[in-house]
């Protein structure tokens, strides 16, 4: 039995867009990350990401075109700065939280 020609065909254009990978596993500050990549680096689903952008919790993507084209995204340095700010806020919240003690023990001050 011969394999079908359809199975050996190259992936369609829309599938290739989803497979787009950055040059390395780490964020490169000068690399431009498109909306397709955003869910991986911001940690939100596409719907949540859209809401976070509208409320200002995530930086708004910039357009690659001067005419306001459809190609939008972030430079790696923007994503890295956002991740660092989130980490700093988390550390500050943890430090500000009251220390917990076991039942019956007193906290040393």
pLDDT score, position 64: 84
Which residues constitute the domain of residue 59?
32-93
In terms of pLDDT, which residue wins out, 65 or 16? 65
What is the reported pTM?
0.63
Confidence of residue 5 (pLDDT cuts 50, 70, 90): low
Number of separate domains in the chain:
1
- Residue 19 confidence (pLDDT): 56
pLDDT of residue 49: 94
Higher pLDDT pick, 13 / 31: 31
In a domain, 109, yes or no: no
In this predicted model, what pLDDT tens digit does every residue of 28-78 receive, in sequence order? 888 889 988 888 889 899 999 999 999 999 999 998 888 877 889 999 999
SS (H, E, C) the chain: CCCCHHHHCCCCHHHHHHCCCCCCCCCCCCCEEEHHHHHHHHCCCHHHHHHHHHHCCCCCCEECCCCCCCCEEEEHHHHHHHHHHHHHHHHHHHHHCCCCCCCCCCCCC
With a pLDDT cut of 90, the percent of the chain lying above it is 34
User: Does 27 reside within a domain?
Assistant: no
């Amino acid at each position: 039995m011969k394999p079908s020609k359809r199975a050996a065909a190259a992936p369609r254009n829309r599938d290739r867009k989803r497979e787009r990978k950055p040059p390395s596993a780490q964020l490169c500050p000068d690399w431009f990350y498109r909306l397709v990549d955003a869910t991986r680096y911001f940690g939100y689903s596409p719907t949540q990401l859209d809401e976070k952008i509208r409320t200002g919790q995530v930086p708004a993507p910039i357009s690659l075109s001067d005419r306001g084209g459809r190609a939008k995204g972030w430079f790696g340095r923007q994503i890295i700065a956002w991740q660092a700010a989130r980490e700093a806020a988390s550390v500050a919240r943890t430090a500000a939280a009251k220390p917990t003690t076991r039942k019956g023990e007193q906290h040393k001050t």
